[in-house]
Chains A and B, each alone.
Chain A
């Protein structure tokens, strides 16, 4: 992909990251790099059992260790004992029961991480070990007592649409299993909490996706008014959903308040696996009824999402799953039943794709089965069914978004296929790579498809607004927002917007913190649309004020003024002055709150306008499989993605390539293995992530059809890349092997046995 650089770093240019230089020099302060005078280290004691009653906790051994300054448990939580994003069902510290392996039980603060480790080892917790509930079906059938006062079913949602008795000559069905994926951001959870001198408040530097939501939950648990909890974004080393829930925030703040000293907490990699929620493992059954021409007549489906011990965002993930049952295809009739349930497995919540990844894996498997059953080619069957703007979805909602799906599929199909594998390939080009034993003679190539649609922003009536302030003075702009920069590049985009709207070049942004209104979460592909919309709105307000100022000075109606490049110009007269000059000794500051259009809850039949907007994408995967050893190499991914409008080509490409790698991980290597509630592989040694050697060739087409609903016409691009790439790769493996593989990740045994 060649990237052309334009002159000014405005919208449409591949402006460079403002934090790029400090990041390559190792200067950029990640939250884990922060220090404070007189700082203590914090650490967390976690349950070794997936389900147990706490009989007693003896902290005396820890208190006796020199250097230990504080030891706390549930007894020490001054405010609300539980927290949560949607329902507050998760204890800050376990009190009577532990419900998952790794649940926090106590925390310590001490002078050195090693002292902390010894203090944790000296705490004696007596547990009565109970039989964990680990099969999600047993959470549904009520064969087991509830493992939580809120019950074992977090949410059930049905969708009943059209004629439920409709049928058609072709019927295909399948049961699909999706494994538990970890976000595996590189910068583990970390925070530095600094108590106010008067003890009445606290400042917390933390790597998070949503400062204001963290603050709300923390204030409740700490029994502080929200304005006494000030959050500042510590540098964030990736997020992908794993920082949507709070993890160490309350613990760190509490230790700092108790000791009246700054406290830093940082999880190691193993602890990080227990410290955040994961992608829901799910089992999805689908039955598609279609005419002989391949057109879908009805879909029946059942979803079971394993939410683990606490609810996190499970209820919203469920809604995303069931409402995307049809995928990007027309479907007049549907009966869907979906559950998100509570078990003693690790809690699951947000991860890039949020419920749609799971639904897509199932509906794309079904499309391939439909192709076989009808004898129609897998591209053609998709084209025949695609959804268009104006179509009614199974929720009764009319699709209003621009939907260039046909272009996505056709442009993907038109991309060149990779060369055939050479007769004597380099061993690194073989499945399994270096040092493995893949044999050229056993390698079979396969091609597979995946197509998807993904909702953007929050759903079901939630007003996830964003706030931004723009201050123009002497030709320079300073922006202020609370938008979490997690690596996606909002700090690159926001100044681009200001440069385009205001004709300035010098744009900076202030500290990202809670000293301005909420920006909502960096999730759901929403920040370009929402916080981009807020920055755009604030800059436009400032521009109006600037025009009024210039108009008054020159006796011109401000409505005649416009920005041309870096000048203010009179559109029907001769005035042309630089913005720099026009704003000399002039300061104006405006704050704008951007709200997306309102949405609705679903009713009991799953009907309602619950989503804001949608984006579309197609993926074609080419894989080489060693059928003898069950090893897979993803050779090439071709993709065309509906992006609305490209605001920064290099950033969009980065999101697409990065998302594809994560989808590839879910397809062939990434899975948290849990047996009887015990996590078996909480390390980078045993939880495999794609490396440079696993990176396929990626061919990209960015489909630009600006969406009139979107500020600047641009759709969020973060999630779409990782959704249908997984089913495309698995379809390619099926194509190569002839095996019906209905689970991901695909393991060697799924291929060879």
Chain B
């Protein structure tokens, strides 16, 4: 293709150079196909499912809706950057142990959404949890075990804080 671009993105604290990219590529595409970060998933590429959730300057956004080239100069965080030493965050651990993962396609996006919620609200009530996760579709679980995972993180954080 003609119209190829070069730019640098800051992802999980690291500068990552993107070369020979078509200008129309979404951030999701660039993460997955050019930068070897396939943890963010694409299930609708229309901003409806949340499986592509990343943080751009600490805001949780659908990476499928952002042109990568417009994210130059921002701080981008993906699921791969949650715990770079390979261990699990408390949210990830709770997803595994509470059975919140089935096929797992929604999981990285949901893990990002739950971290985002708890970073901004340490003790969300049921409605706040449901509202915060309502942009993330899970087709397998019916959400019950996902709520159980969130509840378990909240109570573990509470008990370790006190």
Q: Which A positions have Cβ atoms within 8 angstroms of B?
A: 1, 3, 14, 16-17, 19-21, 23-30, 32-33, 66-67, 111-115, 183-188, 235-238, 240, 268-269, 426, 428-429, 434, 486-489, 650-651, 653-654, 656-662, 683-685, 689-693, 695, 698
The CA of A28 and the CA of B107, in the complex, are separated in Å by: 11
Q: Do residues B48 and A20 form an inter-chain contact, with CB atoms below 8 A? A: no
The CA of A475 and the CA of B147, in the complex, are separated in Å by: 38
Given A185-B105, A240-B139, 18 more A-B residue pairs with CB atoms under 8 Å apart are A21-B96, A24-B96, A25-B108, A186-B43, A236-B103, A269-B46, A426-B127, A487-B102, A650-B99, A654-B102, A661-B139, A661-B142, A684-B46, A684-B48, A685-B46, A692-B130, A692-B131, A693-B134
Q: How far is the CB of A90 from chain B (nearest CB, A)?
A: 25
The CA of A238 and the CA of B140, in the complex, are separated in Å by: 7
Q: Do residues B99 and A3 form an inter-chain contact, with CB atoms below 8 A? A: yes
Which residues of chain B come closer than 8 Å to A651, judged between CB atoms?
A: 99
A-B CB contacts (within 8 Å), total count = 193
Q: Report the stretch among B34-42, B69-77, B153-161 that lies at the interface.
A: B34-42
Q: Do residues A33 and B38 form an inter-chain contact, with CB atoms below 8 A? A: yes
Nearest to B25 among chain A residues (CB) is: A114
Q: Do residues B133 and A269 form an inter-chain contact, with CB atoms below 8 A? A: no
Nearest to B132 among chain A residues (CB) is: A692
- Beyond A653-B144, A692-B129, whether A67 also contacts B1 by CB under 8 A is yes
Q: How far is the CB of B77 from chain A (nearest CB, A)?
A: 12
Where chain B touches its partner, the secondary structure class is loop
Which A-B residue pairs are the 4 nearest by beta carbons?
A26-B39, A487-B103, A23-B104, A237-B105
- Of B43, B45, B80, the most chain A CB neighbours within 10 A belong to B43
Which residues of chain B come closer than 8 Å to A21, judged between CB atoms?
A: 88, 92, 96
Q: Which of A111, A187, A650, A695 contacts B142 (CB 8 A)?
A: A695
State how many residues of chain B have any CB contact under 8 Å with chain A: 59
- Beyond A186-B137, A240-B139, whether A66 also contacts B46 by CB under 8 A is no
Question: B1-26 CB contact bits vs A (8 Å, 1 = yes)?
Answer: 10000000000000000000010110
Q: Do residues B32 and A24 form an inter-chain contact, with CB atoms below 8 A? A: no
The CA of A96 and the CA of B79, in the complex, are separated in Å by: 48
> In this assembly, does B55 line the interface, its C-beta being within 8 Å of a C-beta of chain A?
no
The CA of A114 and the CA of B143, in the complex, are separated in Å by: 35
> In this assembly, does B44 line the interface, its C-beta being within 8 Å of a C-beta of chain A?
yes
Nearest to A659 among chain B residues (CB) is: B142
Q: Which of A3, A29, A32, A683 contacts B48 (CB 8 A)?
A: A683
The CA of A14 and the CA of B131, in the complex, are separated in Å by: 29
The CA of A25 and the CA of B109, in the complex, are separated in Å by: 10
Q: Do residues B103 and A186 form an inter-chain contact, with CB atoms below 8 A? A: yes
Q: Which of A112, A429, A434, A661 contacts B1 (CB 8 A)?
A: A112
Q: Do residues A24 and B43 form an inter-chain contact, with CB atoms below 8 A? A: no
**Can you pick out 21 interface pairs between chain A and chain B where the beta carbons lie within 8 Å of each other?**
A23-B104, A24-B93, A24-B107, A25-B92, A183-B139, A186-B103, A186-B139, A187-B41, A237-B103, A237-B105, A240-B139, A428-B127, A487-B102, A654-B102, A654-B142, A658-B139, A662-B139, A662-B142, A684-B48, A684-B49, A690-B142
Q: Do residues B134 and A692 form an inter-chain contact, with CB atoms below 8 A? A: yes
Q: Which of A111, A183, A186, A488 contacts B49 (CB 8 A)?
A: A186
- Which residues 89-132 of B sit at the A interface, judged by CB distance below 8 A? 92-93, 95-99, 101-108, 111, 127, 129-131
Q: How far is the CB of B127 from chain A (nearest CB, A)?
A: 5
Which residues of chain B come closer than 8 Å to A23, judged between CB atoms?
A: 101, 104, 107-108
- Beyond A16-B97, A238-B140, A653-B144, whether A114 also contacts B22 by CB under 8 A is yes
Q: How far is the CB of A690 from chain B (nearest CB, A)?
A: 8
- Beyond A429-B127, A684-B48, whether A657 also contacts B134 by CB under 8 A is no
Q: How far is the CB of B110 from chain A (nearest CB, A)?
A: 9
Q: Do residues A66 and B1 form an inter-chain contact, with CB atoms below 8 A? A: yes
Q: Which of A17, A66, A698 contacts B101 (CB 8 A)?
A: A17
Q: Do residues A657 and B111 form an inter-chain contact, with CB atoms below 8 A? A: no
Which residues of chain A come closer than 8 Å to B106, judged between CB atoms?
A: 186
Q: Do residues B1 and A114 form an inter-chain contact, with CB atoms below 8 A? A: yes
The CA of A662 and the CA of B143, in the complex, are separated in Å by: 11
Q: How far is the CB of A38 from chain B (nearest CB, A)?
A: 14
Q: How far is the CB of B42 from chain A (nearest CB, A)?
A: 7
Which residues of chain A come closer than 8 Å to B127, judged between CB atoms?
A: 426, 428-429
Q: Do residues B45 and A657 form an inter-chain contact, with CB atoms below 8 A? A: no
Q: How far is the CB of A382 from chain B (nearest CB, A)?
A: 25
The CA of A661 and the CA of B145, in the complex, are separated in Å by: 13
